[in-house]
Amino acid sequence: MSRALVVGGNGFIGAHLVQKLVDTGWDVTILHKYEQPRYSKMPTAVRFLRGDLTQESLLAEAVEDQEVVFHLLWTTTAIHEVANRDPAADVQANLVPTIHLIEACRAAGVGRLLFTSSGGTVYGRTQTAPIPEDHPNNPVNAYGVSKLAVEKYLQMFRHLHGLDFAILRPSVPYGPHQNPLARQGAVAVFLYRVAKGLPLTIWGDGRISRDYFYISDLVDALILGGMQPLNDQRIFNLGGSEEVSLNRLIAQVEKTVGRKAEVEYQPARDFDAPRVLLDTTRAQTVLGWQPKVLMKDGLAKTWEWMQATIL
């Protein structure tokens, strides 16, 4: 039986990953400050440790004898505009605790540490599409800078100590259990607000585009990233097979919900990349991964869950 620690296992991505790991026979430990996911139940088969990465003794206990550590935890201060207003707080809340985790994994001889970075922010503003992993990294917001710093620390720890790691750079995942009341997560937020007759705020003219992809596709990539043999290539883009602008997303949400959206356009923000379309060839070649769920089907599944759970 494979053993895994999921740091942030009761968050949106973590809850889906934990359920899949349990369903496929893994021995799972969760480290999180929340005792239950927001919209689902933590499986009874898991071992739960309540706390965070600043608690050294708890962290040492959590990583002991783990084959794979999935690091999914990033605090709410990582909302882009909040992180930009106080970059030092972002570093203290996210980068420093992650370094503690890396050090604990090295000390415990963890099999592999898998980190979820950000395909939407570490590259910055690009002129290339789709974006390959070897594209220059010039993040334009504090969130992207912190994520990229973690990547560099992982590479340093491999060079100095032989730490086995993998880095996933997802675009924008969505699906059931995503909080529709948050300030991020356009799919869930748009579905909810259109259903409730609430206005949507769009920064810019709505032509900003992302390659959204469904949560089950991300979970598949996480597990493959934790288990597949790796050589020098350890950074992998993840995204959907479709590039969707905000305007097109609104139209698809309207069709899914069966109701017109009220849209308020505001001036564009200088920390938003105008276009994110990731080249996922490396993930396909090395991990054997590719997205399976089409946007229209993922929207339908998310809408079905939202109707049954929240509305």
Q: pLDDT confidence of 77, banded at 50, 70, 90?
A: very low
* Mean pLDDT of all residues in 6-13: 96
Instruction: Render pLDDT for 109-164 as a digit per residue (tens, 0 to 9).
Output: 999 999 999 998 999 988 788 999 999 999 999 999 999 999 999 999 999 999 99
CATH second-level architecture of 3-176+212-241+278-292? 3-Layer(aba) Sandwich (3.40)
Q: pLDDT confidence of 84, banded at 50, 70, 90?
A: confident
pLDDT averaged over every residue in the chain: 93
E-state strands within the chain: 3-7, 27-32, 47-50, 68-71, 112-116, 165-170, 172-174, 200-203, 209-210, 212-214, 235-238, 244-245, 263-266, 275-276
Is residue 245 a contact partner of residue 208, using CB atoms and an 8 Å limit?
A: yes
* Mean pLDDT of all residues in 165-170: 98
Q: Please provide the DSSP assignment of 43-75 as one string.
A: -TTSEEEE--TT-HHHHHHHHTT-SEEEE----
> What's the pLDDT score for residue 80?
63
Does 174 participate in catalysis according to the annotation?
A: no
> What's the pLDDT score for residue 79?
61
pTM reported for the whole predicted model? 0.94
Which of 34, 123, 143, 192 is an active site residue? 143
* Mean pLDDT of all residues in 245-266: 95
Q: Residue ranges per domain, the chain?
A: 3-176+212-241+278-292
